[in-house]
Amino acid sequence: MATKTKAAEVDVMAVLAGAATQKAEKASKSKVPALQVTPELMRLAAKKQELVKKMDELKAEDELVSADIIDGVTPIYEEKCSREFMSSVKVPALDGTNITVTWKSAYSAISTEKTQEIKDVVGSHFDRWFTKQTTITVKDQSPEFLKQLIDMVGAENFAKFFGVEQAIVPTATFTEEKYRVLDKSQREALSGTVKQYKPAIRAK
């Protein structure tokens, strides 16, 4: 039994040593040398800088246009979902093409402290519409503590070794049913706590 424990300890130390080596190697590569290049390559580098600047400007403009589209489409989308759920809708453009706006069943993290607040709004639907997600991390990652973790983990020591994070996670069922089951005032009551990610826009 002692031999097995010692082997496990060696494995932990090896993992720690490997991680430290990788980190050091990564740091050593952070110094980027400047090359001596031809005038043509310098011209292309300048062109690349110009293109990046233009793309950044276009990206900012695209974000503004996308926000306006989402603001305009959302009320229509919510009204349609109150009758039948759909994750995507098409918006026709003046040139005969269209863009697609898609809402994913993905939300910002919700603290478990908000559980009762959400239950007050959704009532008996809570257990179908929300789940609890737990994330466990090791607080102390020193070699000494990791050795103890291998040998000693038990219920009485759990809080000593681990930090626990919990969050409420909306289900796909909530996304599909919220517009049909909840009225506008109920959805607004949840909006400050249950924040769905912005929809994606795809143009053809």
- Name the residue ranges covered by the structural domains of the chain: 36-204
Give the sign of the dihedral formed by CA 93, CA 98, CA 99, CA 101. Answer: positive
Is the confidence at residue 43, as pLDDT, over 70? yes
The yes-or-no verdict on residue 8 having pLDDT over 70 is no
List CB contacts of 125: < 8 A, sequence separation 6 or more. Answer: 174, 177, 181
The pTM score is 0.64
Give the SS3 label for residue 31: coil
The CA distance from 187 to 45, in Å, is: 51
The more confidently predicted of residues 178 and 154 is: 178
pLDDT above 90 (res 55)? yes
